[in-house]
Structure 1
Amino acid sequence: MSEVSASAAAEDTRTHILDCAEARFRTFGYGKSTMAEIAGDAHMSAANLYRYFDNKQELGVACAKRCMDELFVALRTIVRKGDHHAAATLVAFCVELARWTHSNTANEPRINELVQMINSERKDVVVWRESRLHGLLAEILARGNDSGEFDIEDVIDAAQTVHASLMLFQLQLLMGMYELPELEARAAAVANLILRGLQTRS
């Protein structure tokens, strides 16, 4: 097998492991899942599983980052769509953030165990996530400044403040309280309230 083929095979195996681990975390929870069980789901030995991930925490982090990458792709597509004004982009960003959080957790509450582990034990992952969200929000706000829609003195500070105001739509533990249409409507309403403070005064 060539080096390229071996690398592709290893990546396929890693993806398969992540698929199996995520399915188990969603069904049984992070706390009750073991590396041996995940190895069994992936039809490999535990020793082989440890060749790819040092421990369950690293496997959980890899699952979470893969899931969050899907969110970032969706949000980046919204942010960099050229035919929307900054105000409309901000509303779409907020609604997508709420939709993604709801769709990933509302009906599978056991995945929240993984979220709680990361929040308590892996602050580096939390910082990584926050910085990427801040960066995307800053892009929207800077574009609004450039177009004259917004009048923001400190875009970075404003992006962090906007992100803080969207915390409800990122709290996985609360998603079961809302039907998706209600949550999306709340996200749009919050975004429109934020816009009142950002828009240029005539």
Structure 2
Amino acid sequence: MDEKTATRDRILQAAMNRIKHYGYGKTTMAEIAADCDMSPGNIYRFFEAKIDIAEAMARKHYAEEQAEMAAIARKKEWPADKRLREIFFKRMRDSYAMFEENAKILEVAEVLVKERPLFSNEQLALERVFLSALLEEGEKAGLFAPADHMFNAEMMQSATMKFGVPQLFSKLTLPKLERELEGVLNLILNGIYARK
């Protein structure tokens, strides 16, 4: 790892620690710089604004999450419908746990939704790639009916949006969210299964 990357990572870690404690709104670039033992002017060489730090933090998180979900999608020993369920449940449970443990991090998600809507769309597009591949695999196995799999993946995302970051949309407990997600996935999968 080169020095620039190491400094960037140090800034992101300092920002994460401060935001977890004080929240996004009460964290300043000067405080993050001080936590890194650098001048406020120096931090701007790496990030133009606090929102850029928030986006970089989210990108790092989503890259890890996407890798984990893609690994589930590649579990050939499971049928495609089981893998789809596991992906959506894992995403919800992990997200729920992260925001329950670090409530102030939810502010980052709220700010990104408002100020960087293209970021969310980009993450959804990346997720659709392996979802549509999984749907196509299910069709080839005779499990799912022939369809436009990219469209179906997009509609699955739309139908399950609430469960991606559940605390943004509701104050339900995890068991209630799991019950709802199970019901939504049952409806979706029943609509795409191949008919005998």
Asked if TM exceeds 0.5, the reply is yes
Residues 22 and 63 in structure 1, CA contact (< 8 A), matched pair in contact too: yes
Distance 2:118 2:101 in 1: 27
Q: Deviations over 1:99-156 (max 9, x none)?
A: 1211221232222221121111112211111111222211111111111100032111
Return the alpha-carbon distance in structure 1 between the equivalents of residues 146 and 113 of structure 2. 31
Unaligned runs of 5+ in 2: none
1:177 aligns with 2:180: no
Gaps of at least 5 residues in structure 1 are 1-6
Query: Which residue does 1:132 correspond to in 2?
Result: 126
Higher relative contact order (CA 8 A, sep 6+): 1
The answer to whether the aligner puts 1:158 opposite 2:152 as a matched pair is: yes
What are the residue-to-residue correspondences of 1:26-45 with 2, within 5 Å? 26-45=20-39
User: Is it true that 1:71 corresponds to 2:71 in the alignment?
Assistant: no
Secondary structure in structure 2 of the residue aligned to 1:52: coil
Aligned equivalents of 1:131, 1:140: Cα separation in 2 = 15
Of 116, 120, 126, the residue aligned with 1:122 is: 116
Instruction: Report the CA distance between 1:77 and its aligned residue.
Output: 0.7
Give the counterpart letter for 1:52 in structure 2: F
Deviates more, 1:11-20 or 1:183-192: 183-192
Residue 173 of structure 2 aligns with an amino acid whose one-letter code is Y
Contact 1:102/1:175, CA 8 A, preserved across alignment: no
Partner of 1:148: 142
What is the alpha-carbon distance in structure 1 between the residues aligned to residue 53 and residue 143 of structure 2?
44
What is the one-letter code of the residue matched to 2:12?
A: L
Q: Which amino acid is the alignment partner of residue 8 of structure 1?
A: D
- Aligned CA-pair RMSD: 1.8
| TM-score of the pair, normalised by structure 2 | 0.91
SS for the counterpart of 1:201 is coil
Corresponding residue for residue 96 of structure 1? 90
Deviations 1:74-119 (A, max 9, x none): 1111111221111111111111111121122123222222112111
Alignment TM-score, normalising by the size of structure 1: 0.88
- Contact in 2 for aligned 1:75/1:93 (Cα 8 Å): yes
Query: Which residue among 11, 22, 39 is the counterpart of 1:17?
Result: 11
Match of 1:194 among 179, 182, 188: 188
